[in-house]
Amino acid sequence: MKITDIIQALDLKIISGQNGLSNEIKGGYVSDLLSDVMGNATEGQIWITLQTHQNIIAIASLKEISAIILVKGSLPENDTIEKSNTENIPVLSSDLDTFSIAGRLFDILKME
């Protein structure tokens, strides 16, 4: 499944990193602890978090995360947006909380 399909299905707002929107999604990961993501997330996953600072892009890029979903309507900081655009890692935003958005994403991905 492509990120663009997820954006539509989950009604996500595209904040930045448009050039990465054709990335393929292979599952999801939910965590706000950066070492947990570093140690346990895998390539191609979509990462749901409430962290908005630029280190999330560094991690996403190192781990080859396909996109980041920020929860509860959070918006990233400006340097996060810039980095997301240079690394081509889409930052998306949902008005829902982590539990709700993760649940919906899980439902969509399990049908694959």
Q: Is 81 in the site for another protein (CB under 8 A)?
A: no
Q: Is 72 in the site for another protein (CB under 8 A)?
A: no
CB atoms within 10 A of CB 80: 25
Span interacting with another protein, options 9-17, 26-34, 66-74, 93-101, rule CB under 8 A: 26-34
Residue 8: helix, strand or coil by DSSP? helix
- Which residue, 79 or 95, has its beta carbon nearer to another protein? 79
Q: Is 88 in the site for another protein (CB under 8 A)?
A: no
Q: Is 35 in the site for another protein (CB under 8 A)?
A: yes
- Which residue, 62 or 75, has its beta carbon nearer to another protein? 62
**Which tokens in the block code for residue 90?**
């889409």
DSSP 43-95: TT-EEEES--STHHHHHHHHHT-SEEEE-TT----HHHHHHHHHHT--EEE-S
Q: By CB under 8 A, name the binding residues for another protein.
A: 32-36, 38-39, 43, 49, 51, 53-55, 58-59, 61-62, 79
